[in-house]
Amino acid sequence: MAASGAYAGCGQPMEPGRHPMIIEADGTIRSAVYFIPSSYTGKDKVPVVFDLHGSNSNPDGQLNRSSWDKVAEKNGFIVVAPQGSLPGKFTGTYAWNVPFVTRQEGGLDEIAFIQQALKTVKEEFCVDPARIYGSGYSGGGRMLSAYLCSGRDDFAAVGVVHSLRAGRPVEIGGKWVPDQANCNPARPVSIMAFAGLKDTANPYAGGGSAYWQYGFKVAIQRWTELDGCKGDGNPKTVEDVTFSLYGACKSGARIVSYVFANGTHAWPKQAPATEAVLAAAKDGAASVVPAVSVASAKPAFDPNVDPASRMWEFFGKADSTDVVATAVPVKISSGTASGTGVASDCGTQADLQGNTCNSSQPTDMRRSGQEGQGAL
């Protein structure tokens, strides 16, 4: 580990903040970034969240995007952001060598790397092995999905943004579906997944890249089958966000989805105006009163969703009623359809520290759904 001091599990305090980390996996030196909250003493076992970046990004860029380090500082847990083995399109960016998805020169065994990263974290930090969670965005979510499908039993729960998969796509009877033989999780696992109806990189309805031929609803349905869930998710819509909860699954697992009617491939963010109004309202500032109208009846959930903070609630609470938000949403007088905005997609190399570019590659309709040479 490339940080000052000798750390060996519990008993050693650590310097707060982000730090580079070196992990040796299968004789290869791999990189990651870890974040230590200021409350960490090394005496008490704390949870860990693994945050997997998307294609053409890197660990720091992902933390900038997801804000998992901010959530960790507030709640006192560690975040580890590992780095994929494939070179990205721009200097300093990377992608994941996802099994049955990418085939590119230089790709390493990412399953083995994640396993070694988990082992290293357990050895070097004072962590609770029963509270290790995974989060992934875009290509990182596809990597996390593949890790679960491979049968590894390391994460207590996971959250994925614009990237849920349930096995590689295969075409059966003219329809693209997940290959059932390609996804064999070790046990029912709780999953929170986010999707945008206007996502052009990983389209909500499917299509696009060869590895994305089936859509988000099909992926959710397959995971409900794998987890043995009952019901239809009882979907509820507030503003432009639809929330569904499958709470009756085997072994206490749950599946939750948030679908944004105006969502693109970008990581969902609260609109700046909404953040200002909420902060001012919390402080009791009278000046914001004319600008908002608070709903008279408590809604089904708060549509002003930040994925990281919502995932953290999901990870830590077993009671399904705790999955939905308790805050009353506010309406912004500017006429926007929702208080939830999105981080803009990157258009230049300078934007890569916080956004992964959308792809405009033509559809590659393959029967097996396995991506071609050079794809991310």
Predicted pLDDT of residue 304: 76
**Read out DSSP for 14-76?**
---EEEEEEEEETTEEEEEEEEE-TT--SSS-EEEEEEE--TTB-HHHHHHHH-HHHHHHHHT
Res 2 pLDDT > 70 = no
Residues in the chain, total:
376
User: Which DSSP state fits 220?
Assistant: H
Q: What average pLDDT does the segment 122-148 reach?
A: 97
> Across the chain, what does the average pLDDT equal?
81
**Residue 331 Ramachandran class (φ > 0 left, ψ -120 to 50 alpha, else beta):** beta
pLDDT in tens, 171-224: 999 999 999 999 999 999 999 999 999 999 999 999 999 999 999 999 999 999
CB–CB of 302/329 below 8 Å? yes
Element spanning 230, H or E: none
Res 257 pLDDT > 70 = yes
For residue 60, give both structure tokens: 């720091």
For residue 192, give both structure tokens: 């929170």
CA angle 57, 343, 375 (to 5 degrees): 35
Contacts of 49 (CB under 8 A, 6+ apart): 68, 72, 77, 78, 79, 80, 132, 133, 134, 135, 311, 312, 315
323: pLDDT confidence band, cut at 50, 70 and 90?
low
Residue (of 118, 169, 216) closest to 366 by Cα position = 169
Residue (of 95, 211, 111) closest to 153 by Cα position = 111
Q: What average pLDDT does the segment 329-339 reach?
A: 33
Q: What's the CATH architecture for 17-353?
A: 3-Layer(aba) Sandwich (3.40)
Amino acid code (one letter) for 157: A
Q: pLDDT > 90: what percent of the chain?
A: 66
pLDDT in tens, 9-59: 898 899 999 999 999 998 999 999 999 999 999 999 999 999 999 999 999
* Whole-angstrom distance, CA of residue 220 vs CA of residue 213: 14
Counts of helices then strands in the chain (DSSP H, E): 7, 18
Res 320 pLDDT > 70 = no
Res 288 pLDDT > 80 = no
Which residues are bridge partners to 110 per DSSP?
none
Lowest-confidence region among 18-22, 40-44, 247-251, 298-302:
298-302
For residue 324, give both structure tokens: 């939905």
Q: Does the model's pTM come out above 0.85?
A: no
Task: Kindly list the domain boundaries of the chain, sorted by start residue.
Answer: 17-353
Predicted pLDDT of residue 299: 67
Predicted pLDDT of residue 295: 42
First to last CA, the chain: 28
CB–CB of 345/264 below 8 Å? yes
pLDDT in tens, 59-110: 999 999 999 999 999 999 999 999 999 999 999 999 999 988 776 777 899 9
For residue 50, give both structure tokens: 């693994």
CB–CB of 179/213 below 8 Å? no
Q: pLDDT > 70: what percent of the chain?
A: 73
* Whole-angstrom distance, CA of residue 76 vs CA of residue 318: 19
**Residue 56 Ramachandran class (φ > 0 left, ψ -120 to 50 alpha, else beta):** left
CA angle 145, 200, 269 (to 5 degrees): 75
How far is residue 12 CA from its own chain's centroid? 30
CB atoms within 10 A of CB 273: 17
Res 5 pLDDT > 90 = no
Predicted pLDDT of residue 370: 52
Which residues are bridge partners to 257 per DSSP?
193, 244
Q: What average pLDDT does the segment 242-257 reach?
A: 94
Res 372 pLDDT > 70 = no
Question: Which residue in the block uniquely carries the two structure tokens 């396995």?
Answer: 370
Lowest-confidence region among 62-66, 124-128, 290-294:
290-294
Residue (of 226, 190, 137) closest to 322 by Cα position = 190
246: pLDDT confidence band, cut at 50, 70 and 90?
very high
* Whole-angstrom distance, CA of residue 100 vs CA of residue 369: 8
Query: Between 145 and 353, whose confidence is greater?
Result: 145
